[in-house]
Structure 1
Amino acid sequence: MCGIALIICGIRFDLSPLLLDTTPPVTNSDQLEFSIGDLGAALRRRGPDSLGSKKLLLHSSDSDCEVVSSIGGLEEESNCECKSNCFSAANGRTLHLQCTCTIPSSSGELHFLGATLQLRGVNPLVQPLIDSSKNILVYNGEIFGGIDIASDENDGEVLMRLLGGCKGSVPNVLSRIKGPWAIIYWQESSRRLWFGRDAFGRRSLLVHWPTREDSRLLLSSVSPVASNERASDFEAENGTTKLSFWEELPCGIYSVSINAPDHDAVLVGKVKKHEWTNVMLEELIKWERTSVEPKPEEFHFSRCETLRGQHDMNLVTSDIVPLPSKSGNVQPSISVPAQTVLIALRESVLRRSSLHTIFQAGTHDMEKDLSPVAVLFSGGLDSMLIAALLHECLDPSYEIDLLNVSFDGQFAPDRISAKAGVSELRRIAPLRKWKLVEIDADLSSLTFETKRVLSLINPANTYMDLNIGIALWLAAGGDGWVYGENSKYSDENRQGVKYKSRARIVLVGSGADEQCAGYGRHRTKYRSGSWLRLHEEMKLDMQRIWKRNLGRDDRCIADSGKEARFPFLDEDVIRILLGLPLWEVTNLDQPSGIGDKKILREVAELLGLHEAATLPKRAIQFGTRIARESNRKNFGSNRAANQASAGSVVIHKR
């Protein structure tokens, strides 16, 4: 899937159940005005296979509804010009404002948009989907488990059938899904709109809650450029913006029940948030670990005690055997927790790289030398694990694209580690054709691209977000050079071939640092407050990853017509890691490159990635050197940027 959007107007909203702060922002007289066409243009930019819209007209007098469809295109002009109809604020007051909408006051309009990047199913699919009961679905996600999907089925169509037959228990169906998703669903029988995103926010969904300035309710996978350009005229004050049109929709399932009150016949929509019905999912969201602080004897045992390989073979698949160490000797023992994590990660990558029938049929017929799945690749521990596991899961006839970005040519740390990483991958998988796609960029020449990425990261608005967004956007574009296997990064005369990756699936290592204590602040918390403070910091990271990272990253990668998939954020992987004692996951008494992400380093050793197992953490903005170039451009020097804490500074528009 690719992207979804919705505009609702002509309805008075009651937001009180959500306890939202609906105090209108301080703005100038200009309003953020954009139409269904603006949202459509933002989704079309992503290069979908199809883009469609449907308009649902609701009438309060007779409870009728009417669906107007536009298949394969968009209704560029909407009859609704409503920007200031009534809505009920969280404090219980109803704001009675002049409504300029051309539709009758007793009617409402719901405009659905669906863009489809089709990766599953044998038949072409155009969203929004509508069934015989007049239910409407726009869906952006992937079902990797919890609901059975045949290899030749499209998961959106299967989900539509399940929702159509659930008779009101929409949360039950959505709570079953394992995988990333964002959804907007009109349930005709209950006259109710459902929307939401998965429990970890792996798919973007932005929301505009009704305000005095614009009382429409809007949902979109991405901010239209028009709204971002207008919003960019603000002046930052006290570290926050005066104008904030969009916000990340908090993870969860929401509904709007639409009814007509007796006294004025105006349609009223009451917004409600629903609980998850999956007990395991609730436990993952709470992110409470049973074993946090070890007793002295437990910690000693975890550091010293291992089991012999023969006993471990009963716990793992037959292709895992003791591997040679750096000295060439066979490892005498294997860590049971590491084997358990390895199994979960391998299954996660397998689910995210299975090539469904769509890859062998119709317009998506694949050549044998095409790389269907790419890896966002720095050569660091996380991306090396993903690449090695992808090799195990993907048919050996396919190439694997490794997408690497540099803002310092061959001298950026991520370029150097990527080249070393490819050499190690070729050692453990010599028959696989690995393509290191070297994507070189110059920040000073990316004026248009920077403006575009600013709209993608919205509502994020710091220089750190922008730097990360640009690096991800360039990597997902996959437009670079491929060199011969024997090329050295110091060879100025090496010969390369211009190459653009056509992979539509990109595997990303997000979630590894949050779950395995890979950030510097984790070490700081451990030193200041020991194991409990470390656990609380990791829990905070996991519970805010949807807001700080994943929505932004999903939008930046999807803009290139690619789908981001996050193996470390698979529900089963999260469950396995959370079930381990914290001291088995990390040991921050040891130095960087050894104790941080301890469990993943052990997994790397099991896979034969001995060099990668010792690499220290390096964030993408530093590894690609974009942070250095951004600091020089926006602050004059790295020193000045450091003094200003540049990464967290809100971007001021000039």
Structure 2
Amino acid sequence: MCGIALILSGVRLIGSELFRESRGERCPNSEEVFKPVLSVDDLKASLLRRGPDNLGSRRIFLQPKLIPSFEDDAGHKGNEMCLPFEHCHEDHITSVQESACAQEDNANGVKSVADLYFFGATLQLRGATSISQPLVDTSGNLLVYNGEIFGGIHVDADSNDAETLLHELERCFFRNCHGQRKNCSCLGKGERSIPEVLSTIKGPWSFIYWQERSKTIWFGRDAFGRRSLLVHWPTHDDSRFVLSSVSPPSSVERISDSVAGDTFSYWEELPCGIYSIKLKASKSREHSIHEKLISKIKKHEWADVELEELIKWERAMDPKLEQVTFYNHQHAMKQCVGSAEGRPCNVGDMGDHTNKQTGSITSATNSLIDRDTLTQSGYAYNVLAVLRESVMRRTDLNIIYQTAQHQAGVKVSAPVAVLFSGGLDSMILAALLDQCLDSSYAIDLLNVSFDGNLAPDRVSARVGIRELHRISPLRRWRLVEIDASLSDLDWETRHVTSLIHPAKTYMDLNIGIALWLAAGGDGWVDENINNNCREDQCRYKYKSTARILLVGSGADEQCAGYSRHRTKYRAGGWVALNNEMRLDMQRIWKRNLGRDDRCISDHGKEARFPFLDENVIRTLLEIPLWEIANLDKPVGQGDKKVLREVAKLLGLEGAALLPKRAIQFGSRIARESNRKNFGSNRAANQASAGSVEIHE
């Protein structure tokens, strides 16, 4: 995991208005001189918090070559303000790379007209030897990468993801071929395009890549937005194009239009996808004897059919208004019984033996089916199998840990932690981590409370660790209790306000503070929870050093865990529920994941989301929606039905009955925030405090 950034200066960017969310811009007076909003030193400091192992930077200076007078295809000389983009060419640009320095001249002493300033801060979790970003290959290509490769591209056990990806990208063909891949003369045998390579990656990522031969900047984030990447589109206040994993404090001041009264953020969440900016030379009328650079931004299609299907989020069996088909899960269960290792059942192969029943979608029809006898279905076994594989991929400790331990002379007691509320999702992750992690390691369970031992999440966490101790008594479980009071968090609140940006509501801030404190892992451990001993002997201060944090994001969106899902179901049945869940999954990158990634990684920790593994998403989409959830049943039973069955398969009988609680309510930070900012919970509810924007 890394913090990555790019500052592009001196290039006119065509088409950025098509991607910008906020269309308005602050127009300066002719006499006004604006100082750049973003401080480079501030950016470096913010990135270094994400990647504390090392921080590197590299600059590429760009200079256009002198070009003869432009002639069109008919031989006529052009006198336009600038050359049409299609007549510009990357061969008319020279570039010089060197380590970042304060001067603006390149290595040959020639004044550059534009430059690319790359930054990479590294938290290294894979590879036998340490690396430093930005990475540069023998062709002069440059990469800063923030992500993990869990599949699609082979990464050797002693290799690093970023280095492996750099070599894969170096082999990509470098011409755009005008979007036509077939019969392209510049495409060599076996070569792939950059979108084709990136589309194959299984796992979270964001990246910025300079392709030297084509003079093209490539950037983007994975299809679900599991890694943060913010963008600043050029404006009158700051004409630079900027990408960054995080929003530094100097950049979060909003620009107000004194006339319209509108507010605009410096940053936007970059929508998921792969983008390119091709740099070319053009002639400006204003500088008739000097060449300047022009660029055009393009968004590329995903090149993997299966990935596109996941993005569309369409079920193999869509719910219909007329009828639904229920499978005989007793038969499916019999096919699965006896699998001691939790081997997934191939329910699709049972077609000739599966008894089907058909009925209209009404509560009356549902009540005719005895769902209580169908608690351990083949679907639950399938979900359990892919979730276990997902956790295994995200917690496989390779040689980098052994190297670090040998150099430090100590053993990392808990390399992986769980953001832990004691609820259904975090209990499942903790139980699966226990199955995947060597028994010699402890597991840290990070729990935050704003009401001491009275907060609902603290109560369920203490109950949950006892249940985990029951199913795995030999494991060293460590519940880290992190207590806080909002009135004592003035600096922290300001800091998290910057981290969640461009999110800006009190709900975002409450969630962000709770996640930020939990990820810090600085709390108390009370051994009396598991052992009979005196509190003064067993309660001690503790700070978790785990660099990998498992987070339950994506479980509620895919398994109907929110209260609004129940509301939609009651109003419009299965179709309305399915549409709402699809909407949740298609906007999770903007509403949740970017914000959460920035808050957690600020401590030099990497958030990993097992429920958002590509195979897990695909498996859940192959299950009929009425087997995912049964919202005719009470809260704590019908919501996330398939996950409750998974919990029972893991022996978590108590966790299988727990209702859903959002972290801002379970930790009781929302209550404190309401009292602090609105005077009371009642006043906050009347003001719909969760959606109110923060105005300092």
Counterpart check, 1:544 vs 2:574: no
Aligned partners of 2:420 and 2:127: how far apart in 1? 29
Counterpart check, 1:267 vs 2:309: no
Shift in Å, 1:310: 5.4
Aligned equivalent of 1:6: 6
Q: In the TM superposition, what are the counterparts of 1:106-185 in structure 2 within 5 Å?
A: 107-168=113-174, 169-185=193-209
Counterpart check, 1:216 vs 2:216: no
Give SS of 1:66's match.
strand
Write the letter of the residue equivalent to 2:376.
I
CA contact (8 A) 2:64 2:293 kept: yes
Aligned equivalent of 2:391: 349
Aligned equivalent of 1:509: 552
Give SS of 1:204's match.
coil
Aligned partners of 1:366 and 1:514: how far apart in 2? 43
Counterpart check, 1:63 vs 2:93: yes
Shift in Å, 1:315: 6.9
CA contact (8 A) 2:383 2:646 kept: yes
Counterpart check, 1:202 vs 2:245: no
Q: Label 1:369 to 1:157 Cα distance change in 2 as closer, same or farther (>3 A).
A: closer
User: More displaced, 384-393 or 333-342?
Assistant: 333-342
Aligned partners of 1:460 and 1:443: how far apart in 2? 19
CA contact (8 A) 1:22 1:211 kept: no
Q: In the TM superposition, what are the counterparts of 1:230-629 in structure 2 within 5 Å?
A: 230-231=253-254, 242-262=263-283, 265-293=291-319, 301-302=326-327, 305-307=329-331, 311-313=335-337, 317=341, 334-362=376-404, 367-368=410-411, 370-486=413-529, 495-629=538-672
CA contact (8 A) 1:376 1:475 kept: yes
User: More displaced, 19-28 or 358-367?
Assistant: 19-28
Aligned partners of 2:640 and 2:410: how far apart in 1? 38
Aligned equivalent of 2:77: none
Give SS of 1:33's match.
coil
| TM-score (norm. length: structure 2) | 0.83
Aligned partners of 1:560 and 1:252: how far apart in 2? 27
Give SS of 1:261's match.
strand
Give SS of 2:228's match.
coil
Task: List gaps (5 residues or longer) in structure 2.
Answer: 66-91, 175-192, 346-372
Aligned equivalent of 1:88: none
User: More displaced, 150-159 or 11-20?
Assistant: 11-20
Q: Label 1:450 to 1:494 Cα distance change in 2 as closer, same or farther (>3 A).
A: farther
Shift in Å, 1:235: 10
Q: Whose radius of gyration is greater, 1 or 2?
A: 2
Aligned partners of 1:332 and 1:550: how far apart in 2? 34
Deviations along 1:296-348, one digit per CA (max 9) or x if unpaired, are: 9855x44x632375521577836899xxxxxxxxx998310000000000000
Give SS of 2:263's match.
coil
Aligned equivalent of 1:324: none
Give SS of 2:438's match.
coil
Q: Label 1:572 to 1:212 Cα distance change in 2 as closer, same or farther (>3 A).
A: same
Q: Label 1:467 to 1:318 Cα distance change in 2 as closer, same or farther (>3 A).
A: closer
Write the letter of the residue equivalent to 1:242.
T
Give SS of 1:290's match.
coil
CA contact (8 A) 2:39 2:250 kept: no
CA contact (8 A) 1:352 1:567 kept: yes
CA contact (8 A) 2:462 2:529 kept: no
User: More displaced, 273-282 or 54-63?
Assistant: 54-63
Aligned partners of 1:318 and 1:535: how far apart in 2? 29
Give SS of 2:492's match.
helix
Aligned partners of 1:457 and 1:402: how far apart in 2? 24
Aligned equivalent of 1:49: 53
Aligned partners of 1:114 and 1:380: how far apart in 2? 36
Aligned equivalent of 1:33: 37
Q: Label 1:393 to 1:487 Cα distance change in 2 as closer, same or farther (>3 A).
A: closer
Aligned partners of 1:483 and 1:22: how far apart in 2? 49
Aligned partners of 1:192 and 1:258: how far apart in 2? 6
Give SS of 2:509's match.
helix
Shift in Å, 1:251: 0.2
CA contact (8 A) 2:16 2:233 kept: no
CA contact (8 A) 1:588 1:596 kept: yes
Shift in Å, 1:353: 0.4
Aligned equivalent of 2:676: 633
Shift in Å, 1:580: 1.0
Shift in Å, 1:37: 2.1
CA contact (8 A) 2:448 2:483 kept: yes
Shift in Å, 1:484: 1.1
Deviations along 1:345-402, one digit per CA (max 9) or x if unpaired, are: 0000000000011000046658446100000000000000000000000001000000
CA contact (8 A) 1:13 1:271 kept: yes
Deviations along 1:528-566, one digit per CA (max 9) or x if unpaired, are: 011111011000000000000000000000000100000
Write the letter of the residue equivalent to 2:41.
G
CA contact (8 A) 1:4 1:115 kept: yes
Give SS of 1:288's match.
coil
Deviations along 1:492-526, one digit per CA (max 9) or x if unpaired, are: 87841100000000000000000000000000000
Aligned partners of 1:448 and 1:351: how far apart in 2? 37
Give SS of 1:306's match.
helix
Shift in Å, 1:627: 0.2
Write the letter of the residue equivalent to 1:255.
S
User: More displaced, 16-25 or 353-362?
Assistant: 16-25
CA contact (8 A) 2:344 2:382 kept: no
Q: Label 1:53 to 1:448 Cα distance change in 2 as closer, same or farther (>3 A).
A: same
| TM-score (norm. length: structure 1) | 0.88
CA contact (8 A) 1:236 1:650 kept: no
CA contact (8 A) 1:27 1:243 kept: no
Task: List gaps (5 residues or longer) in structure 1.
Answer: 81-101, 322-330
Q: Label 1:494 to 1:296 Cα distance change in 2 as closer, same or farther (>3 A).
A: farther
User: More displaced, 185-194 or 28-37?
Assistant: 28-37
Deviations along 1:55-107, one digit per CA (max 9) or x if unpaired, are: 0011111521101115xxxx4x4649xxxxxxxxxxxxxxxxxxxxx995x72
Deviations along 1:113-164, one digit per CA (max 9) or x if unpaired, are: 0010000001110000001110000000000111111111101100000001
Aligned partners of 1:248 and 1:394: how far apart in 2? 34
CA contact (8 A) 2:445 2:479 kept: yes
Shift in Å, 1:19: 5.3
Aligned partners of 2:394 and 2:588: how far apart in 1? 20
Give SS of 2:6's match.
strand
Q: Label 1:334 to 1:259 Cα distance change in 2 as closer, same or farther (>3 A).
A: same
Shift in Å, 1:409: 0.3
Give SS of 1:267's match.
strand
Shift in Å, 1:26: 3.8
Q: Label 1:474 to 1:318 Cα distance change in 2 as closer, same or farther (>3 A).
A: closer
Aligned partners of 1:411 and 1:382: how far apart in 2? 21
Aligned partners of 2:16 and 2:425: how far apart in 1? 43
Percent identity of paired positions between Structure 1 and Structure 2: 59
